[in-house]
A and B are shown apart, each in its own frame.
Chain A
């Protein structure tokens, strides 16, 4: 499991969460994994940013054009940073998707 920090000030208020995970998918973040990641990100209300470095540059994880366009290679460390009411759940779900190697129906 990856580093995971989660600071919720109160249940309904603004929450921020970060996590990182190694991308071990053989071909990197190619078309299908990119679609799955984006679709999952869109299920959350929080703003979700993604980067291959904890210093950015950050891209919108809900933008299929940006996520696929990043052409992230295998063994990159993906950093997720979410802000919003469901930020913790969002980064947890995204990390799980990457760790489980983008299963169908993920």
Chain B
């Protein structure tokens, strides 16, 4: 169990994505690797499949990668990114249906203890939006 599940933060806003990743590092620590991406290729608000793929690659872990997203396009573009992954990696990347910031902290805390990808996702999703 040398490696933990990693996280990818996807927001429409690069600032929100970076800030969320900073919160994870400061509140949970650096035993969970976190990549973040946000903004469309023109620099505006949005998300970009290629940036998401790059972020997944950056923190790739054989234990898996959990993706946390904010709204609409972040989800569909993340799903598209997962579909574009090499087949052997596809099953080890999941999208969490949870609020972005809260879910990221919960997922990272779970992952820091060496939990499986399914457990990390379940913990993030246990926190339902209120």
Binding site for B on A (CB under 8 A): 31-32, 35, 38-39, 42-43, 62-65, 68-69
CB distance from B7 to the nearest CB of A (A): 14
Interface string of B86-116 (1 = CB under 8 A from A): 0000000000000000000110011011110
Interface size class for chain B?
10 to 19
Binding site for A on B (CB under 8 A): 27-29, 105-106, 109-110, 112-115, 123, 126-127
User: Hey, which chain A residues are within 8 Å of B127, CB to CB?
Assistant: 65, 69
Please give me the residue from chain A that is nearest to B110 by CB atom: A64
Secondary structure dominating the interface of A: helix
B109 touching A64, Cβ below 8 Å: yes
CB distance from B103 to the nearest CB of A (A): 10
Residues A35 and B113 in contact in the complex (CB < 8 Å), given A64-B123, A65-B123, A65-B127: no
A35 touching B123, Cβ below 8 Å: no
Please give me the residue from chain A that is nearest to B28 by CB atom: A35
